[in-house]
Amino acid sequence: MEQNFKPAARRKAREYAMQAIYQWQMTGNALNEIEAQYLSTMNSKKVDIVYFQELFNGVLTDLHDIDEVVAPAIDREMEDIDPVERAIIRLSGFELKHRIDIPRRVVINEGIELAKTFGATDGHKFINGVLDKISKTLRPHE
């Protein structure tokens, strides 16, 4: 059973997961080392730690399939996308694919908010477009 269902704790989990995915993309460090680094700094009262772990491990386990779903929605190679935006797309793609209990609009909005906080000036517009396209593929009836 998950520790914390509060939206703010989930949002923090997404922020940390996105940063951890970004770190892995940039450094290639061992996943367990990156995960341990983040877990050592988290406050379990403010972060849904179980959800962080699900996102971080899930994205990297399912990376190939997520990237395949994203490929038709982008106009360039995945590796050519800004690393922050790439991490957000992968994280949100995982949620769209595997967390059908979370409404599509919520996943897209959370991705946009991550892009506004961590991405380039207009990166949130790109994120919105990509997530909208892949959500229609992954959740055509929602």
Question: How much is the pTM?
Answer: 0.93
Read off the pLDDT of residues 78-131 as tens digits, 9 standing for 90 and up.
999 999 999 999 999 999 999 999 999 999 999 999 999 999 999 999 999 999
**Domains, the chain:** 7-138 (1.10.940.10)
The pLDDT of residue 108:
98
Query: Which amino acid is located at 9 in the chain?
Result: A
Say if residues 34 and 23 touch (Cβ distance below 8 Å). Answer: yes
Say if residues 70 and 93 touch (Cβ distance below 8 Å). Answer: yes
Read off the pLDDT of residues 5-14 as tens digits, 9 standing for 90 and up.
688 999 999 9
Say if residues 129 and 115 touch (Cβ distance below 8 Å). Answer: no
